[in-house]
Amino acid sequence: MYQLFATIIAFLCIPILIRFKFKLSKTLLITALVLGMVSGIGIINLKDAFLSVITDKSSLSTILTVAMVTILSGLMKQYRILDKIVESMLIVINNKKVILMIIPAMIGMLIVPGGALLSAPFINNLGEEMGIKQSRRAAINLVFRHISMFILPYSTSLLIISGSMPQINIGQIILLNLIFVISMIIIGYFMFIRDIDFEKSIEDRKDIGKNIVNLIVHTSPIYVCVILNVLTGLPFYITLIGSIILVFLLGDKEDFFRHLIKSFNLNTVLIVIAVFIIKGIILRMDDLLQLFNTMFLGSDSVFSIMIVFFISSFFFGFITGNQTASLAILLPMVTMLNVSNETLYVYLYFSYCCAFLGYFFSPLHLCQAFTVQHMGVATKDLYKEYKYFPVYLVLVLMISFMILV
């Protein structure tokens, strides 16, 4: 229990430091240091948690990828490539409400860490033109860009399930996930999109074919890095070089290298480093992990299992700001349960969505951190904008769980 209380105390630093106008990167680094000092994991484990940021290939790759994404995002904004994409999309689709949902969902399909840095400028610029307040813009970007992680078989979280439990049919998990993701889209539309007033574009729509081509060309820096990754197997931080070269070819090339250096965002990279340090500390807190393991094994009814799944999945997702970390902790516990194959799929669906909720609403959620930073909105204002959104999602999840079981 001590480590549970220590974690809560450490995380109380976040709202306090933010209130005193600390940057989010510094806030999270201080929180990581406090957590390490009060967690009781020892100096050696604390040192390993800090060093794991550079010794763990996955963490280092993510940090380098995010650094490259900040550069790509800055260059695309500098050379107005983002504006050109929106202009073409407005002619092709001619409905700004639909575009507000499509843009983050489309970019969310690219499994690139820090992808929120690419979708946030689109939504921010379009939202400003439509008179949407900043907190609403942030909510729209975050809600709709996470759709793909439920249904793409190559999303990181689904790959973790596949790797941890080879006997599981990922297609069946995706079918169950559709219950939650369709509900999220509908709720998100009615809460954040439906009441927005806008005027339809009066652009000449006779050049739809030309604008489709323009759309393909100007979005190429976003998807080329993914294609190169699939074809070559090279990490994203290397394939993103190809995307940056495309920006160079599409832009006016004026002062390109100066803008390239200027686009690098150290604060964003430090946020990622801090999150990985915190995750490393959490994964070394054996007493905390054992506490939740005991709760699982002690559950003897469907309702009690549902509550334990919800609390543990949400908790680990929330404190790590990482759905995959939560699943990595929970999946070994799930395999210990003596249940039928059909029930196992329901438990995986429920755990997956609960971990997502914890991750989605966590102050350590990188997409949220990037979106809030880019749009200049306070985290508390974003949470106020959500209002009953998390309540609705929890109700959908629990009701669907009880029906499926």
pLDDT tens-digit series, residues 13-33: 877 887 787 887 888 899 889
Average pLDDT score over residue span 243-264: 89
For the purposes of burial, counting CB atoms within 10 Å of the CB of 42, is it exposed (0-12), middle (13-18) or buried (19 or more)? Answer: exposed
Residue 190 confidence (pLDDT): 95
The 10s digit of each residue's pLDDT in 176-196 is: 999 999 999 999 999 999 988
Average pLDDT score over residue span 285-290: 82
Residue 369 confidence (pLDDT): 83
Closest to 319 measured CA to CA, from 25, 1, 35, 122: 35
Residue 204 has pLDDT above 60, yes or no: no
CB 352, CB 161: distance < 8 Å: yes
Residue 245 has pLDDT above 60, yes or no: yes
The 10s digit of each residue's pLDDT in 135-162 is: 999 999 999 999 988 987 667 778 778 7
Residue 376 confidence (pLDDT): 87
Query: How big is the CA angle at 75 (ends 94 and 218), to the nearest 5 degrees?
Result: 35
86: left (phi over 0), alpha (psi -120 to 50) or beta: alpha
Total residue length of the chain: 405
Residue 115 confidence (pLDDT): 64
Average pLDDT, the chain: 84
Global pTM value: 0.72
The 10s digit of each residue's pLDDT in 41-52 is: 889 998 998 998
Q: How far apart, in whole angstroms, are the C-alpha atoms of residue 95 and residue 196?
A: 12
More confident residue, 398 or 16: 398
Residue 388 binned pLDDT confidence (cut-offs 50, 70, 90): very high
More confident residue, 109 or 105: 105
Residue 290 binned pLDDT confidence (cut-offs 50, 70, 90): confident
Average pLDDT score over residue span 250-276: 85
